[in-house]
Every structure is written in C-alpha cells, then in structure tokens.
C-alpha cells in the first residue's frame, strides 16, 4: 500500500506557530552572532575595518528587513479563496473557443458534478476555478495552489506566491551573506591560536555559521526549482500533474510567465506587493482568470 504523504502533512498542522518561532529563533541567533558579537563592536576600531563592518551591517539589515517583510506577507496573506457562488465563463480545457452556457447548470442553481466541462470539488461542494486545488490541511480550495508550506503555516497560492518567492530569494541572499561574513571566524575554531570571546559568543557564532550555511544550500535548490516553475508558468502541483503532457496551455513565454507572478511594474518586482494598475489590468494576479494559448484551445475541440 502506497504511503499517503498528505496524512503526514495533516499531522504537521499541530506544529502551528512552532515553525514560525523556529524561524524567528534562527534569525535571533544570527543577529546576535553577526551584529552584537562580531561586527557592531568593530565599528569602534576605526579605519578600513570599521568601514567594512558598516557595509556588512548595512547590507545585513537591508536584507533582513526584506526577508521578514516577505515572510510575514506569506503568513498573513490569504493565498486565495473561491468566491461564493462563483461560476466559470469558459471551459478550462477548451478556452474561449467553447464557452460554457447556462444550460450546463441545473434549473435549481445546483451544479452537476458529472459534467466533465466543470471542475467540481466534492469536499467543498463547490466549483473549482482554473488551476485551483483542494488543500486537505486548510480544508478548502486554494486559487492556483502551489503547496502547503509548514514554514509559513499557510498555503502558497495565487495571492501570496510572489511573497513566497521573494522570501526564498532574500533568505538565500541573507544566509549567503552571513555565511561569508562569519567564515573567517568559523575557520578560527580550527586554528591553534587563542580565540577572543566568551564561550557563549563563540558557540553562538559557530551555530549561526552552520545554520546559515545549511539554509543557504537548501534554499538555493528550492529557489532554482521555483524559478523553473515560474519560467514555465506552472505550479508544483501542476508540474506533477502535467509531467506526461508535452505542451502546457498556460506557458506564454518566459517574459509573460514572469509577469503573471511579479506583475509588469518593475518598481514592485522586488517587494511583496503589486501596483494598483497591475491589479486592475491583470486578472491572473487575482487567481480566477488566466490567459492561455489560443492554438491549444482550438486543438482541444
């Protein structure tokens, strides 16, 4: 009998805010090691060392601020829920060339789950918009669901996917910066000379280096995977579902695929927010409607 990974994920629901506290704990240890223990005291030394320490601290705080902004945006932003009484306008598989009509719904305004042209969630007893999936952990359908992330105690979907990607991006930059800035101090642990500092500060520096180095490597792999997903305009779930499909109807080219996640306004690309104009003119950012390739729409007829 195959192992159901979703039962394991459901058990992780009990962790709740523990995962958030764990992330904040790593941030606290890192801040103590980098700022309070090693680089803030160097500001009083003067000369080149003080300038170097100032630059490290400036970049560290900038990246940390963006990391935390993105992180809490993922946590507190609803990934996207199906609006009440939502009805599809077109067949998801056939697109604009074969629009749905009122006759496909029963007169009692109830949906026909047996209609193959209508995506229906039997758990929520409601229609499923294009690219939405039911999350067994949240107990609801999520718009353009990518996955349920235990590190943010939330689903990653249409409304917070950009924030999640920026969280990965700034986490990689921050952990890489910490790894490089603490590398010299880490190497000193294996030297024969005497190392300045108390046992507590030395242990914190050692722990901060190991944790950040490990996170930098793991997040890099995860970041590369999601960059490839964005380039193909797909999600983790969709990549698994369409692994035998040679062409993907939502793949509009790398530039437009990128804009489907980050918007067209370059000023907002690196912050977890969208411009009002992008939200107004790009329905895909709302998670209910997505442009697709017309040639693939007609091929399905």
| Active-site amino acid positions | 149
Q: 246 vs 206, 216, 232, 239, 251, CA distance in Å?
A: 48, 33, 12, 11, 11
Distance in angstroms (rounded) separating the CA atoms of residues 118 and 219: 38
Beta bridge mates, 120: 127
Q: Using an 8 Å Cβ cutoff, are 86 and 287 in contact?
A: no
Residue 72 burial (CB < 10 Å; 0-12/13-18/19+)?
middle
H helices present in 189-245, as ranges: 199-231, 236-241
Element (H, E) at 99: strand 95-99
Measured in residues, the chain has a length of 301
**Phi, psi angle pair for 144, to nearest 5°:** 45, 55
φ/ψ (deg, to 5) at 235: -115, 175
């Amino acid at each position: 009998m195959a192992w159901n990974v979703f039962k394991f994920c459901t058990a992780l629901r009990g962790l709740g805010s523990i995962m958030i506290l764990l992330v904040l704990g790593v941030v606290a240890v890192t801040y103590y090691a980098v700022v309070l223990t090693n680089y803030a005291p160097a500001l009083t030394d003067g000369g080149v060392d003080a300038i170097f320490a100032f630059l490290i601290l400036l970049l560290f705080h900038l990246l940390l601020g963006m990391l935390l902004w993105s992180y809490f945006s993922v946590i507190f932003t609803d990934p996207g829920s199906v609006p009440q009484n939502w009805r599809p306008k077109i067949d998801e598989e056939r697109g604009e060339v074969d629009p749905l009509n009122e006759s496909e719904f029963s007169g009692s305004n109830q949906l026909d789950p047996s209609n193959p042209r209508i995506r229906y969630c039997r758990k929520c007893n409601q229609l499923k918009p294009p690219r939405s999936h039911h999350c067994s952990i949240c107990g609801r359908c999520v718009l353009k669901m990518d996955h349920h992330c235990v590190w943010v105690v939330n689903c990653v979907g249409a409304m917070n996917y950009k924030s999640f990607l920026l969280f990965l991006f700034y986490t990689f930059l921050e952990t890489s910066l910490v790894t490089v800035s603490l590398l010299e101090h880490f190497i000193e642990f294996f030297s024969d000379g005497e190392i300045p500092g108390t046992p507590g500060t030395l242990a914190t520096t050692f722990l901060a280096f190991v944790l950040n180095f490990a996170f930098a490597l793991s997040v890099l792999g995860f970041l590369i995977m999601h960059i490839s997903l964005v380039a193909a305009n797909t999600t983790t779930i969709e990549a698994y579902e369409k692994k035998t499909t040679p062409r993907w109807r939502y793949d509009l080219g790398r530039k437009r695929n990128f804009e489907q996640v980050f918007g067209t306004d370059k000023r907002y690309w690196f912050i977890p927010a969208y411009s009002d104009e992008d939200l107004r003119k790009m329905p895909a950012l709302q998670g209910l409607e997505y442009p697709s390739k017309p040639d693939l729409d007609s091929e399905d007829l």
